[in-house]
Amino acid sequence: MPRDLFPGDSPQRQSSPLSLTQSPELQTPGTGTNDETEASKNFTILRDESDDREYQLSEYMRKSDKENNLHPYVQTLSISNLDSCVALENAAFTENERCSRDKFVYRLTQCPELCFGLFSTMPSSDESDPYWSAARPPDSHNPKLRSILVGHVIATKSTASGVTDDSMDFPTSFPSHPDHSDYNPSPALEEVNHSNEGPVGHVESGRTLCIHSVGVLPKYQARGIGKTILKAYLQRMESSGIADRIALLAHDHLVKWYEALGFRNNGVSDAKFGGGGWYDMIYDVKDQGP
C-alpha cells in the first residue's frame, strides 16, 4: 500500500522541478479493438518528449547522479520482474503492509499492463545485495551489469468506486507460481467474498484503477523520485482511456501529499488491510476526448 514511501519527500524539500529520458518502451495501454479484454493491452499511443513525465524522470535521475553510474529507463512490468518487485517491496514496506509474492504473481500475470517500473542499469559493489541478486543483466554483452528496479507502481482494475479489501485480494482458484499460465477466469466465475463489495482481484471490465503499491528503494527515497514516478504513471494511464478514476489508500499524514498530486480525499476507508486506518484517495481521470 502507498504509505511512508518517500520520507522527507515534500514539495518544500524539492530543490527544483523534476523534469522523466525517453523510455525505450514508448507505449501506453490504449483502446481501439473490438475485444474489451485485449483493448487495454494494446500499446499504441506515442508521447511528446516535451511533456512526457517518463522522459523527465529518467533525465532527472541522470542529472542527480553524481557518480554517473545510473542509466534509468521506464517500462511496463511482467512476471519476469517478479523477484525484483518482491525485493523492492520488502525493502520499502513493513511486513503487514507489503504486497505478498503470491499477489505479485497474480498481478504481473493477469494485468501486467497496469504495472509500471523505473529501472537503472548499474554495476554493484556487493553481489550479496538482494536487489542485485534479483535483477537481470540488461543483455548478454554486459554480464557485470544489472537492471535494478528502483521504483514501481502496481495496480489492478475494479468495479468498485475505490480500493477495497476485495480488490486487494486474489481468487483462491488462482494457481501458485510457477504453474499459473493456464489461469483464465471468466467474469461469471470470479469469486466474491469479504463484504460483498464485488469480485475478488482484478476485474478487466472495471473502470476504477486501484493502485496497491507505490514503492521506491530506500537509497533513492527523499529525492522526489516517488512523486515523479506517480505523476508519470497517472499521465500514462490517463492518456490510455482505460479508467474513469484512479484510487489508492493513504495514511493520514500522506493525505495532503496525494492531494497535491490531484487526488481528493474521500474520507476514512472501510478497508482493513494492514490493520486499517486508511483514507480513500481518488484521482478523477480527465476526459481525453475522441
Residue 98: which residues within 8 A CB-CB, separation 6 or more?
89, 90, 92, 213
185 dihedral zone (left: phi>0; alpha: psi -120 to 50; beta): beta
CB 217 within 8 A of CB 131: yes
**In the predicted structure, residue 141 carries a pLDDT above the cut 70:** yes
Quote the pLDDT of residue 197. 52
What are the distances in angstroms from CA 120 to CA 32, 86, 112, 166, 249?
32, 17, 20, 34, 28
For the chain, first and last CA: distance in Å? 34
Q: H or E segment at 242?
A: none
Q: What is the β-pairing status of strands 245-250 and 116-122? A: unpaired
Over residues 135-155, the mean pLDDT reads 83
Choose among 214, 221, 152, 264: nearest CA to 14: 221
- What was the pLDDT predicted at 178? 52
Secondary structure (3-state) at 57: helix
- Compute the distance between CA of residue 251 and CA of residue 228 in angstroms, rounded to an integer: 20
* Higher pLDDT, residue 276 or 27: 276
Quote the cell numbers at residue 192.
466474491
Q: What is the 3-state secondary structure (H, E, C) of 170-199?
A: CCCCCCCCCCCCCCCCCHHHCCECCCCCCE
Strands 42-43 and 116-122: unpaired
Band of pLDDT at residue 266, cut at 50, 70 and 90:
very high
Burial of 57 (0-12, 13-18, 19+ CB in 10 A): buried
The stretch 161-184 carries a mean pLDDT of 74
Most confident of 29-38, 84-93, 168-177: 84-93
d(CA 190, CA 187): 5
Q: Residue 132 above 90 pLDDT? A: no
Q: What is the pLDDT of residues 60-114, one digit of tens each?
A: 555 555 554 567 888 999 999 999 999 999 999 999 899 999 999 999 999 999 9
Placement of cell 500499446 in the chain: 43
Predicted local distance difference test score (pLDDT) of residue 10? 41
